[in-house]
Structure formats: C-alpha cells, structure tokens
C-alpha cells in the first residue's frame, strides 16, 4: 500500500522553499489529520507536513482556513453571501480574527458558460477600497497585479493555473494539479507550483475548486 503521509510528526517550515529555481511538487491528501475531520493535508517532496485544512464539526462550510504545519492561518477562503454569481473571497491570514481586519487579496468566480469549455474559475485582485474612500475616488485593483485562470477538470484531478498581468500579455502556467503516479485514488494527488508563484495561493485554488465542485 502506498504511504501517503511519511513524516507527519515532522513539522516543516511555514514557507515551502524553492530549490535552484525548480518547480515545487506537493502531495495533497484530501483528508484531515483530525479524527473524522474533513479537510486537506499537504506534504512536500521529503514527506514533511507543510499545509493543512481542518473542518471542525459545526464550522461554517462557507469559510475555509488554510494553515501552515504549526496551525497558523495563512489564507481564508470565504464564499460570498447574497451574490448573483458563485463568488469567493481570499483573505490574508484568518478573516474571522477579531484582532484586525484581514486584507482581501482575490475575488474568485466560477466560470459559467452554455458551451463546452476548459475554463473552471477566474481569480481577480481584490479592489483597494480603503485608500480610495479616503481620497474620494473609486476602488481600483493594485497596479500590475496578476489575474489567474483555471482550466481543466477538478474531478479528474487534471488542471492548470495560468497567470497574466494585463490584457495583451501572453499568459504563463504557474501551477498544475495532476494524479499521482501510484494508484492511490482521487483523494491523493500532486500539486506542482512553478518558481515565483506562491505555494499557499496554489493550494487556495485547490480549495476553491473543491468548494465549487461540491456546491
């Protein structure tokens, strides 16, 4: 039987390090380490725990927190209420923390089309409203911020994440999800993150697609 979590007891650093500009390959296990818990457990190439998602009993299914190996909140994925479209927001840290409001980073939308398409979702930079409100202007997205398109099939665990900073720029692949070489089922798969792209954000995209696929 294939060993899914070789070094659960070893706590890896919060930051997944890139080696010599190479892509980072992570193993994603669609299961929480908690007994009867739902979520994700993510390991690096050495079998060290790097990310985890734990859904507690009674918790809101509209909000998911991505944590590092030590349990620190990295990103919060929250589904918007009363929205005409299927929309989610991605926040830095724990969006439910009373200490300080968590800044929004991205707005994510499920791709909707009547025609067959590879597109699954789109991520756009969150608009900065605080400074605009103070100056009397309208909210704008950060200059030079990337937008991301997700294509493929989450059910088949085969998809790509593409980035483009502006409308005429050629997009580039920044992350991909693919099946593991060993036959371990759809709940264990690979997440490959290209150099320069944030592994935590790549994992947030996986969580988004899991939420979209379940809704």
- Beta-carbon-side half-sphere exposure of residue 172 (alpha carbons within 13 Å): 10
Both structure tokens of 165: 């900073």
**Coil/strand/helix, residue 12:** coil
Please, which residues bridge with residue 106 across strands? 90, 125
Q: Is the pTM of this model over 0.85?
A: no
Position 10 pLDDT exceeds 50: no
Q: Work out the average pLDDT over 76-105.
A: 84
- Structural class in CATH, domain 22-104+174-211: mainly beta
Beta carbons within 8 Å of 209's beta carbon, 6+ residues apart: 120, 121, 150, 154, 159
**DSSP secondary structure letter of residue 126:** P
Q: Distance between CA atoms of 70 and 68, rounded to whole angstroms? A: 5
Rounded (10°) CA dihedral 9, 15, 20, 24: 70
Per-residue pLDDT of 166-213, as tens digits, reads 666 788 999 999 998 776 788 999 999 999 999 999 999 999 999 988
């Amino acid at each position: 039987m294939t060993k899914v979590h070789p070094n659960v007891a070893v706590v890896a650093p919060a930051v997944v390090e890139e080696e010599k500009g190479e892509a980072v390959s992570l193993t994603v296990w669609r299961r929480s380490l908690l007994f009867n818990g739902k979520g994700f457990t993510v390991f690096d190439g050495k079998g060290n725990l790097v990310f985890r998602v734990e859904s507690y009993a009674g918790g809101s299914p509209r909000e998911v927190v991505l944590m590092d190996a030590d349990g620190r909140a990295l990103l919060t994925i929250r589904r918007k209420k009363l929205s005409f479209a299927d929309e989610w927001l991605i926040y830095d840290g724990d969006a439910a923390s009373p200490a300080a409001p968590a800044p929004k980073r991205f707005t994510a939308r499920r791709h909707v089309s009547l025609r067959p398409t590879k597109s699954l979702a789109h991520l756009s930079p969150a608009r900065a409203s605080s400074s605009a409100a103070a100056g009397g202007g309208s909210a704008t997205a950060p200059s030079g911020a990337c937008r991301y398109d997700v294509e493929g099939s989450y059910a088949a665990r085969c998809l790509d994440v593409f980035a483009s900073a502006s409308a005429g720029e050629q997009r580039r692949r920044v992350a991909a999800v693919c099946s593991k070489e060993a036959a371990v089922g759809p709940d264990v798969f690979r997440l490959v993150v290209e150099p320069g792209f944030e592994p935590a954000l790549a994992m947030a995209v996986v969580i988004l697609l899991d939420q979209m696929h379940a809704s």
